[in-house]
C-alpha cells in the first residue's frame, strides 16, 4: 500500500515509520534540554520521575495521537475530524489538530534558531580541528572564559544568528518539500543510523576518558527530598517535548502509517528509544563535564559552554567536538523536519496547493518569526510581545514562544486528545486501531480516560501560576 487511494503518501515500511518517528522525538530535547534539566533539577530524582512520566503519561498520549492520524490518513485537523465523523461526534473536535498545527509552526520557528547555534559550533570545531590538528585537545592555549564566551559572542551578533537560523530552516524546507518518501523518510533512514553510530562512539569515548562513575551516581541516585513540585513539573514538560507530543507532530506521522502496523507496539518502541537516548545523552555529557571539574547545573549552557571547555582537556578534543555537534545537527534536523511537516501537510491538503508551495509558505512564516526570535538575544532584547500578561512580563520573543507552546498549547492539546480518544471517540474504532489487548489495553484505557487528563490539568494550572 504505497501511494494509497486516500490520496497521500505512506511510509514505505514499518521500520521507516519507526525511524522517522524516533527521528522526530530524538532531538535537541534529548541532547541539550534533558541533561540541562536533569542537572538543574538535582539529577536522579528528576530522572526517575521523568521515566515515570514517559510511561504513564507520555506513552498513552503518543499512542492516542498516532492512532488518530492513522485512522484519519490526513493532516492533523482533518484526521481528528474523520475520527469524530466515524464516531458520530462533532467535527468541532478538529480544533485539537488546528491548535497542534499552529503550535508546531511556532515551535519550528524557534527550534531552528537553536539549530543555528549547532551549525555555528560545527563551524567552530571544524576551524579548530584545522588549526590544532587531529590528536590535540580543542582550543589549544585559549582561556576557559574565552571558550565560554563563544555563545554570548554569537548571541551578540544578530545578523549571524539570523543567518544561521535561516540556513537551518532552509535545509529543513528542502527535505519537507521533497515529500514523505523521498524527503522525510530519506533523512530518517540515512541520518538516524549515522546519529546512532556517532552517539555510541562518543558515549564510549566519554566512558573511557571521562568520569563515568560520577555521572552514573549523579543520574541514578534517587534522593526523594529533591522531588519538589517544580521538579515534577519540569519532568512532565520535558517528557512531552521530548516525545514530540501535544502539537500534532505525531498525528501527522501516524497518518502515513499503514493499516497493518501495530500502533501499540510501535509507540512503545518510539518512547523506549527516545528515553534511552535521553539517558545515554546524560551518560555521554556528564562524564566529560565532570572530568573537567565543571558543574552539572549549568542549564542551557551545559552543552554549548561547559562541554566545549571540557573538550579542551580531552585527547582528540577538536575531532570529538566536531563529531559531537554534527551528531546533534542530525538529531535536530530530523526533528525540525517533523515540526515543519505538520503545518505543511495541512496547508498542502487544505488549500490544495502543491507540497513545495505549501512548504515555502509555511517556511516563510517560520522565517519571519525565527528572525524575531534570533534578534531577541540582541537587538530586540527588550521587546516583550506579551508583556501585558503578568506571566510573560519581561519575556523576550524567543522565550515567549517557548513559554506559550510549553505552558499552554502542549498541555491543552494533550488534554483534549485524551478526552477525545478516551471519552468521545467510538470505542470499537479505537480498539480496532490501538493494537493492544488484555490487561495492557485496560491499563491504557484507564490512563487515557482518567490519569492523563487529570495530571495534565494539574500541570496546566501549575504552569500558569508558576
| Residue 170: half-sphere exposure toward Cβ, Cα within 13 Å | 7
Asked if 327 touches ligand TRP (CB under 6 A), the answer is: no
CA distance 339 to 172: 9
CB of 314 to ligand TRP, least distance (A): 26
Q: Alpha-carbon torsion 237, 240, 246, 248, what sign?
A: positive
Closest CB to ligand TRP among residues 73, 242: 242
Asked if 161 touches ligand TRP (CB under 6 A), the answer is: no
Which has the closest alpha carbon to 425: 143, 88, 110? 88
What is the chain's alpha carbon radius of gyration, rounded to the nearest angstrom? 21
Asked if 241 touches ligand TRP (CB under 6 A), the answer is: yes
Pick out residues in 249-288 that bind ligand TRP (CB under 6 A). Answer: 249
Out of 8, 27, 54, 94, the only residue in the binding site for ligand TRP (CB under 6 A) is 27
Segment near ligand TRP (CB under 6 A); pick from 26-34, 68-76, 161-169, 173-181: 26-34
Q: Name residues whose C-beta falls within 8 Å of residue 355's C-beta, 6 or more positions apart in sequence.
A: 176, 177, 179, 344, 348
CA distance 232 to 47: 10
Asked if 335 touches ligand TRP (CB under 6 A), the answer is: yes
Q: Alpha-carbon torsion 270, 460, 409, 372, what sign?
A: negative
Out of 104, 251, 291, 456, the only residue in the binding site for ligand TRP (CB under 6 A) is 104
Closest CB to ligand TRP among residues 25, 227: 25
Out of 21, 22, 25, 327, the only residue in the binding site for ligand TRP (CB under 6 A) is 25
Asked if 415 touches ligand TRP (CB under 6 A), the answer is: no
CB of 249 to ligand TRP, least distance (A): 4
Burial (CB count <10 Å: 0-12, 13-18, 19+), residue 56: middle
CA distance 101 to 338: 11
Asked if 24 touches ligand TRP (CB under 6 A), the answer is: yes
Segment near ligand TRP (CB under 6 A); pick from 184-192, 239-247, 316-324, 385-393: 239-247
Closest CB to ligand TRP among residues 147, 406: 406
Asked if 247 touches ligand TRP (CB under 6 A), the answer is: yes
CA distance 290 to 173: 38
Q: Which residues lie near ligand TRP (CB under 6 A)?
A: 24-25, 27-30, 104, 107, 241-242, 244, 247, 249, 335, 338-339
Amino acid at each position: 500500500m504505497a501511494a494509497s487511494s486516500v490520496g497521500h503518501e505512506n511510509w514505505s515500511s514499518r521500520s521507516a515509520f519507526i525511524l522517522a518517528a524516533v527521528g522526530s522525538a530524538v532531538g535537541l530535547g534529548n541532547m541539550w534540554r534533558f541533561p540541562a534539566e536533569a542537572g538543574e533539577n538535582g539529577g536522579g530524582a528528576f530522572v526517575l520521575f521523568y521515566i515515570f512520566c514517559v510511561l504513564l503519561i507520555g506513552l498513552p498520549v503518543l499512542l492516542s495521537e498516532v492512532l488518530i492520524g492513522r485512522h484519519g490518513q490526513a493532516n492533523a485537523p482533518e484526521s481528528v475530524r474523520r475520527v469524530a465523523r466515524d464516531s458520530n461526534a462533532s467535527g468541532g473536535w478538529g480544533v485539537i489538530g488546528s491548535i497542534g498545527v499552529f503550535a508546531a509552526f511556532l515551535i519550528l520557528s524557534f527550534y531552528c534558531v537553536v539549530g543555528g547555534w549547532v551549525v555555528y559550533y560545527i563551524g567552530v570545531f571544524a576551524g579548530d580541528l584545522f588549526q590544532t590538528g587531529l590528536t590535540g585537545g580543542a582550543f589549544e592555549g585559549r582561556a576557559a572564559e574565552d571558550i565560554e564566551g563563544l555563545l554570548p559572542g554569537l548571541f551578540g551578533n544578530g545578523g549571524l544568528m539570523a543567518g544561521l537560523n535561516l540556513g537551518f530552516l532552509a535545509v529543513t524546507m528542502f527535505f519537507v518539500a521533497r515529500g514523505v518518501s523521498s524527503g522525510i523518510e530519506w533523512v530518517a533512514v540515512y541520518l538516524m543510523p549515522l546519529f546512532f553510530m556517532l552517539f555510541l562512539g562518543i558515549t564510549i569515548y566519554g566512558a573511557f576518558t571521562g568520569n563515568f562513575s560520577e555521572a552514573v551516581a549523579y543520574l541514578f541516585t534517587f534522593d526523594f527530598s529533591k522531588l519538589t513540585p517544580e521538579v515534577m513539573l519540569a519532568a512532565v514538560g520535558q517528557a512531552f517535548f521530548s516525545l514530540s507530543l501535544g502539537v500534532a507532530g505525531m498525528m501527522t506521522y501516524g497518518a502515513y502509517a499503514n493499516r497493518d502496523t501495530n500502533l501499540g507496539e510501535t509507540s512503545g518502541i518510539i518512547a523506549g528509544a527516545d528515553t534511552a537516548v535521553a539517558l545515554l545523552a546524560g551518560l555521554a555529557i556528564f562524564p566529560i563535564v565532570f572530568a573537567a571539574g565543571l558543574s552539572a547545573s549549568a542549564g542551557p549552557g551545559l552543552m554549548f559552554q561547559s562541554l566545549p571547555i571540557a573538550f579542551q582537556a580531552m585527547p582528540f578534543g577538536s575531532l570529538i567536538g566536531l563529531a559531537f555537534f554534527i551528531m546533534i545537527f542530525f538529531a535536530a534536523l530530523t526533528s525540525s523536519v517533523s515540526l515543519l511537516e505538520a503545518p505543511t501537510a495541512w496547508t498542502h491538503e487544505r488549500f490544495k496547493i502543491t507540497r513545495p508551495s505549501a512548504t515555502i509558505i509555511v517556511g516563510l512564516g517560520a522565517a519571519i518569526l525565527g528572525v524575531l526570535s534570533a534578534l531577541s538575544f540582541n537587538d530586540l532584547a527588550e521587546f516583550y510581545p506579551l508583556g501585558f500578561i503578568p506571566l510573560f512580563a519581561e519575556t523576550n520573543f524567543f522565550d515567549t514562544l517557548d513559554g506559550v507552546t510549553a505552558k499552554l498549547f502542549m498541555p491543552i492539546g494533550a488534554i483534549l486528545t485524551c478526552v477525545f480518544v478516551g471519552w468521545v471517540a467510538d470505542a470499537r474504532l479505537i480498539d480496532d486501531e490501538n493494537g493492544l489487548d488484555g490487561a495492557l489495553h485496560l491499563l491504557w484505557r484507564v490512563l487515557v480516560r482518567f490519569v492523563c487528563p487529570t495530571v495534565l490539568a494539574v500541570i496546566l494550572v501549575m504552569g500558569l501560576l508558576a
